[in-house]
Amino acid sequence: MSGHSSYEFSNPVVKWLDSRLPIVTMVKAQAMDFPTPKNLNYWWTFGGILATMLVIQLITGIVLVMHYTPHVDMAFDSVEHIRRDVNYGNIIQKLHANGASFFFIAVYIHMFRGLYYGSYKAPREVLWMIGVAIFLAMMATGFMGYVLPWGQMSFWGAKVITNLFSAIPFFGEAIVTWLWGGFSVDNATLQRFFSLHYLLPFVLCALVFLHVWALHVSGNGNPVGVEVKSGQDTVSFHPYYTMKDLFAILVFLLFLFGFVFFSPDYLGHPINYVEANPLVTPAHIVPEWYYLPFYAILRSIPDKLLGVVAMFASILILFILPWLDTSKVRSATYRPRYRQLFWILVVVCLGLGVCGAQPAEGGWVIASRILTAWYFLHFLVFLPLLGLFETPKPLPSSISESVLAKQAAKSTAAAQPAE
Ligand code: HEM
What is the tens place of the pLDDT at every residue in 226-262? Answer: 999 877 899 999 999 999 999 999 999 999 999 999 9
Does one domain contain both 215 and 95? yes
Does one domain contain both 170 and 193? yes
CA-closest residue to ligand 1 atom 34: 128
- ∠ CA 257-247-33, nearest 5°, is 135
- Residue 2 pLDDT > 70: no
In Å, the largest CA–CA distance within the chain is 79
- Residue 183 pLDDT > 60: yes
CA-closest residue to ligand 1 atom 15: 44
Higher-confidence residue: 383 or 9? 383
Residue 226 lies in a domain: no
Tell me how many domains the chain contains. 2
124 Cβ inside 6 Å of ligand 1: yes
Residue 19 lies in a domain: no
Helix (H) or strand (E) run with residue 361 in it? none
Buried b (16+ CB within 10 A) or exposed e, 267-306: bbbebbeebbeeeeebeebbbbbbbbbbbbbbbbbeebee
Question: What percentage of residues in the chain have a pLDDT greater than 70?
Answer: 98
CA-closest residue to ligand 1 atom 1: 50
Residue 20 lies in a domain: no
CA-closest residue to ligand 1 atom 26: 131
What is the tens place of the pLDDT at every residue in 387-401? Answer: 999 999 999 988 888
Buried b (16+ CB within 10 A) or exposed e, 359-397: eeeeebbebbbebbebbeebbeebbeebbeebebeebbe
Query: Which residue from 110, 115, 124, 379 has its CB within 8 A of the most atoms of ligand 1, so it is best to mutate?
Result: 110
CA-closest residue to ligand 1 atom 24: 131
Show which of 244, 267, 285 is a domain's final residue: 285
52 Cβ inside 6 Å of ligand 1: no
Closest CA to 309 of 298, 320, 317: 298
What is the tens place of the pLDDT at every residue in 354-371? Answer: 999 999 899 999 999 999
- Residue 5 pLDDT > 70: no
What is the tens place of the pLDDT at every residue in 86-118? Answer: 999 999 999 999 999 999 999 999 999 999 999
Closest CA to 96 of 211, 267, 251: 267
Does one domain contain both 256 and 337? no
Domain ranges, residue 311: 288-388
Closest CA to 403 of 241, 246, 229, 244: 229
Does one domain contain both 273 and 357? no
Does one domain contain both 252 and 311? no
CA-closest residue to ligand 1 atom 31: 131
72 Cβ inside 6 Å of ligand 1: no
Rounded to whole angstroms, how far apart are CA atoms 364 and 343?
A: 22
Q: What is the pLDDT of residue 108?
A: 98
Residues linked to residue 151 through DSSP beta bridges, in sequence order: 275
226 and 399 in contact (C-beta within 8 Å)?
A: yes
Does one domain contain both 330 and 216? no
CATH value at residue 346: 1.10.287.980
Does one domain contain both 67 and 155? yes
What is the tens place of the pLDDT at every residue in 290-302? Answer: 999 999 999 999 9
Residue 248 lies in a domain: yes
What is the tens place of the pLDDT at every residue in 44-65? Answer: 999 999 999 999 999 999 999 9
Q: What is the pTM of this model?
A: 0.95
What DSSP character marks residue 379?
Answer: I
Query: Which residue from 34, 45, 49, 50 has its CB within 8 A of the most atoms of ligand 1, so it is best to mutate?
Result: 50
Ligand 1 mean position, distance from CA 46 (Å): 8
46 Cβ inside 6 Å of ligand 1: yes
